[in-house]
Amino acid sequence: MKKIFLVVLFTALATGNLQAQAKQQRMLLEQIAALQVYIGYAQKGYSAVKKGLNTIGEFKRGEFNLHTDYLNSLKTVNPKIKKYARVTEIIGLQTKIMKSYKSLHQQIRQDDLLHGDEVDYIKRVFERVIKNCDTNLDELLTIVTDGNLEMKDDERMKRIDMIYQNMLDNYAFSESFSNETKILAVSKATELKEAKNSRVLNGINTDLP
C-alpha cells in the first residue's frame, strides 16, 4: 500500500512538473510572439519615421534648390535687357561727351585765347563730368553682366533708365559748358581784335597782343 502511495505521489509530482513546464513554455512562447509583434510594429514605425524624414529632407532640398534656382535666375541677365536701347544710348552719350571735350581742348590750344586758371578750371570741370560718366558706365556694366546682382528684369530696366538720365544730364551740361567756353573765347578774341584796331588807329605798335 505504501509503495502504491509513493508511485501515485511521484506520478502526481511528475505530472505537476510537466504541467508547470508546459505552462512556462506556453508563457515563453506567448512572450516571444508578443515580442515579435512588437518588433514588427517597431520596424514598421521606424520605416515610417525614416520615410517621413527622407520626405522632409527631400522637400527641404527641393525647396532649397528652387530657392537657389530663383536667386540664380535673378543673377542671370535677360538677353532683352542687354539689347535694351538705353544701353546703347548711354554708351553713345559717353562717346559724345568725350568728343566734345577733345574738340574743345584742341580749339583752346589752337586759338590760344584762354590761359592759366581759365584752362585749369575747364579741365577740372570736364574731369568731374567724365569721372561721373565712368561711374555710370561701371554701374551699367554691373547691371548687364551675369552673376553680379540679384535683380528682376523691371528693376534692371529701372536702374538703366536712371543711368541714362544721369548720362543725359552730363551730356547736356557738357554741351552747355562747352558753348559757354566757346562764347568766352569768342569774347576774348573780339576784345583782342578791338584792342589791336584801337592801337592801329592810335599809331601804336600792332605786334603787341
pLDDT in tens, 137-171: 999 888 888 877 788 888 988 999 999 999 999 99
Q: Which residue from 166, 138, 160 is spatially nearest to 88, judged by alpha carbons?
A: 160
Residue 9 pLDDT: 40
Residue 56 pLDDT: 45
What does each of the 209 residues of the chain score in pLDDT, given as a tens digit? 444 444 444 444 444 554 555 555 565 555 555 555 444 544 555 454 455 445 445 544 554 455 454 445 556 778 888 888 898 899 999 999 999 999 988 988 888 888 889 889 999 999 999 999 999 999 988 888 887 778 888 898 899 999 999 999 999 999 999 999 999 888 888 877 777 777 767 766 555 55
| pTM given for the model | 0.60
CB-based burial label for 25 (10 Å; 0-12, 13-18, 19+): exposed
Residue 166 in contact with residue 136, Cβ under 8 Å? yes
- Residues in CB range of 178: below 8 A, 6 or more apart: 100, 101, 103, 104
- Residues in CB range of 185: below 8 A, 6 or more apart: 107, 108, 111, 113, 114
In angstroms, the CA 132 to CA 173 distance is: 12
Q: Furthest-apart CA pair in the chain: how many Å?
A: 183
Here the cell at position 83 is 539689347
In angstroms, the CA 80 to CA 74 distance is: 14
